Amino acid sequence: MRPISRMLGLRLKITGFHVLILGLIFVVSMLIVRHAAGQVAETTGGVSILDLNIGNSPGFIRETIVALGENGRVAYLRFYLVDTFYPLTYAIFYSSWMVILLRHCRTGHNFRHLKALPALPWIAAVFDWLENITISSLLLLFPRDWQPLYVAASFATIAKFSAIALAVGGIVILLGNYLVQKIMHHRAPR
C-alpha cells in the first residue's frame, strides 16, 4: 500500500523540526479551545460543552442543550468559531508524527498496512467537524427537536474519540518500536 501522501499526489518532507512546530501550534490551539470551553461553562453557571464527553447519549445531549439556557447556547455557538480549527491542528500534528515514526520503523513486509495510520487523525477530524455541525444545528433549531441530529451527534462524538484513541495508540506503538530499535542498534556489537 502506498503512503497517503503519495496517493494524494503530495511530496512531503516532514522533519522533526516541523513536528515540533506543529506540536506547539497544537498545544496552543488546545489551550485556546479549553479556555473557550471554560467561557461557555462560565456563561451557563457550570454547564459544560458536549464536545469533551466521550459517550453522549441523545437524551443527555438534549438535557444539556436545555440546561445551557439562551445565553449558553449563544456562547456555545461562538465556541465553534474557535473549535473549527482545532481538529485541523491535531490532525496535522498527529499524522506528521506518524509519518516521521513510520519512516524510521522497520516494520517488515507483514506490516505494510501501517502506512495508512496517518489517516486516523484525519478521520477523527472529520468526525469532530461532523460533531460540531450536528451540535450547532441542534443549538440553532432549539427548542425544536430532530431526533436524527441527536443520534448523529452522539455517533460523531464516539467516532471522534475512538479515532483519536487509535491514533494516539498508534503513535505510542510506533514510538515504542522506534525506541526499541534504537536501543537494539546501540547494543549491537560493532
In the chain (190 residues long), the average pLDDT of successive 10-residue segments reads: 50 72 90 91 88 85 92 92 92 90 69 80 96 94 90 93 94 86 71
CB atoms within 10 A of CB 177: 18
Q: What pLDDT does 1 receive? A: 44
Length, in residues, of the chain:
190
Q: Which three cell numbers stand for residue 8?
A: 494524494
Rounded to two decimals, the pTM is: 0.83
Q: What is the pLDDT of residue 181?
A: 78
So what's the pLDDT on residue 77?
A: 93
Alpha carbon distance 69, 127 (integer Å): 26
Q: So what's the pLDDT on residue 108?
A: 58
